Amino acid sequence: MMIWSRRRLKGSPFSFLPDPMKYSTQFKESVSKNCVKCKEAIAVVVIRAGDKHCRDCFEQYFRHKFRAILGKNRVVFPGEKVLLAVSGGSSSSSMLRQVQEGLSQNAHKKLRFMPGIVYIDEGGALDQSVEERRQTVAMMEDMFKATGFPFYIVPLEKVLDLPSSVIVMAPSSSQQQESQTQLLQQLIDCSKTLTAKEDILSMLRQHLLVHTARCEGYNKLMFGDNCTRLAVKLLSSISLGRGAQLAQDTSFSDSRYGDIISLRPMRDYSSKEIAYYRHIFNVPSVVTPNLHTKNKEKASIQRLTESFVNKLQVDFPSTVSTIYRTSEKLQTTCKSTSANPCDRCLLCMCSLDTTVENASAFQATRISERLSQCKSVGANSDLFPGQNTELRSPGTNCCSKGRGEHFERTVEDRGCCSSIRVPDTTDMSGLLCYSCQLTMKDMSSVECLPQYILSEAQIRQRRSRMKEEISDFLLDD
């Protein structure tokens, strides 16, 4: 039998043995069932190792966290109208409960803003039946009516008929939209990969939420993104080439839409804390399927990243917090969001990250793509022997008359006399950020996009061509 001694000589073979008195004290603390805050009530929640809370202390902890992040950032002002984006999940439902409690008469440091609720019905994009969508909407209505807040249930099909106000930040009127489920499914099916489908669906959802907020007079949007979800979003965004937008995608406030500011008051909560809160206090929620439902973990980049982070969190509990805290320190080298919409991406509305020097990897990729396109066009010239499709003489009887010199013409710039006629298509490559360009490459047809996006693309292209034509008469900035 080994005899433990509190006095251990330096350099002795047993100097590595722990102090028995200290070890026993730590063991008793670890198995203690009392709350670490009040020291009296029985703990019901273990958030982290040695961090145990009773029911009342956990409620105070959860409530204080929500009020603290709103008070620290000072973005929401008294009397302001704030629209809560509720999907029915645990995180957004817990956010709704916190707002309810913060507006109650007995609340300490009562919230002063005027909330509303919006729910986007995405059943059309998920190929749900009419009855399934009706049942989900009915459950959401029952949950929203119990709060007493004004609420809006908007089908995702409405995004196909949005005006261009989503892009140019102009006021618009609220109108009833006809159901266009078939066109919405066609848009989703145009995406070849589940990664692109999730990216497109997320952008369309965001556009519809911004439009609803404008129509109903709200200037703030609150989302239920927790730190676990933001950690997954950070890693997946890097994989999707959206590194320049990380600061906006994961910060507390996002002002990319100008008049509508997006807020994330749940970003300091982990998914574990939210799950405990929902279970202990019976927070009502509605489970709805998404694009990843019943799909394998390698079906998309977003799904694979989520599985990777969750599995790593099991063995290393500080994984999510480390990733999340790293996102707070990120800065972008791109210029800040300009008031001119032409300086922002047509889809995600972030600053364009494609204006880089010529000796960059992005420019090298673009040059390779152009060379590949020219090679494919040159192969078609065998169908028209004796005709030069790239160089035109000033003396030929065509739309190039009067140019005075031989000049190079691309496929899109050929005149009416060109032997190879290419139908007009919407080229949005110069209007998108790097990540959105990759998403568009995974789509079989760009023409399936909503009309407000295509119209804005054409307007920007015409404005760019006009500016190029009169560039010799403009003064430098």
- For 253-269, the pLDDT digits (tens) are 998 888 899 999 999 99
Nearest to 261 by CA among 307, 300, 214, 296: 214
Determine the Cα angle at 255 with ends 305 and 228, to 5°: 25
Residues 92 and 99: their CA atoms lie apart, in Å, by: 11
**Contact (CB, 8 A) for 426 and 447:** yes
Angle between helices 301-315 and 194-215 (to 10 degrees): 90
Lowest mean pLDDT among 4-18, 199-213, 301-315: 4-18
| pLDDT at 387 exceeding the cut of 60 | no
Contact 66, 107 (CB under 8 A): no
Domain extents in the chain: 75-337
Predicted confidence (pLDDT) per residue in 184-243, tens digit: 998 999 999 999 999 999 999 999 999 999 999 999 999 999 999 999 999 999 999 888
pLDDT given for residue 351 in this prediction: 83
pLDDT attached to residue 50: 75
- What is the CB neighbour count within 10 angstroms for residue 324? 20
Secondary structure element (H or E) that encloses residue 261, with its range? strand 261-263
> Which residue from 259, 236, 277 is spatially nearest to 55, judged by alpha carbons?
277
The pLDDT > 70 percentage for the chain reads: 74
Phi, psi of 465 (to 5 degrees): -65, -40
pLDDT level of residue 423 (50, 70, 90 thresholds): very low
pLDDT in tens, 159-181: 988 887 666 555 444 434 646 88
Nearest to 221 by CA among 147, 122, 120, 144: 120
Give the DSSP H/E element, type plus range, for residue 118. strand 114-121
d(C-alpha 234, C-alpha 329), whole Å: 12
Average pLDDT, the chain: 79
**End-to-end CA distance of the chain, in Å?**
86
Distance CA 252, CA 2 (A): 56
pLDDT of res. 193? 93
Q: What average pLDDT does the segment 86-96 reach? A: 95
Of the pLDDT bands very low, low, confident and very high (cuts 50, 70, 90), residue 329 is confident
DSSP state of 152: E
Contact 54, 42 (CB under 8 A): yes
> What CA–CA distances, in Å, run from 257 to 154, 166, 341?
20, 8, 10
User: H-helix or E-strand containing 117?
Assistant: strand 114-121
Q: Percent of the chain at pLDDT above 90?
A: 39
Highest averaged pLDDT of the listed ranges 139-148, 291-300, 374-383: 139-148
d(CA 434, CA 362) in angstroms, rounded, equals: 8
Residue predicted with more confidence, 228 or 417:
228
pLDDT band at 375 (very low <50, low <70, confident <90, very high): low
Confidence of residue 275 (pLDDT cuts 50, 70, 90): very high
Q: What is the pLDDT of residue 169?
A: 57
CA 364: distance to chain centroid?
Answer: 28
Asked if pLDDT for residue 337 goes beyond 70, the answer is no
Where does the pLDDT of residue 390 fall: very low under 50, low under 70, confident under 90, or very high at 90 and above?
very low
Q: Where are the alpha helices (DSSP H) in 152-300?
A: 165-168, 181-190, 194-215, 227-239, 246-250, 271-280
Q: Which two tokens stand for residue 251?
A: 């910060």
Name the DSSP letter for residue 191.
B
What is the CATH code for 75-337?
3.40.50.620
Largest separation between any pair of C-alpha atoms in the chain: 108
138: confidence class by pLDDT, cuts 50, 70, 90: very high
- Residue 396 clears pLDDT 50, i.e. is over it: no
What is the distance between the alpha carbons of residues 102 and 84, in angstroms, rounded to a whole number? 14
Whether pLDDT at 338 is above 70: no
For residue 386, what are the CA distances in angstroms to 53, 123, 381, 401, 421?
A: 84, 56, 9, 20, 17
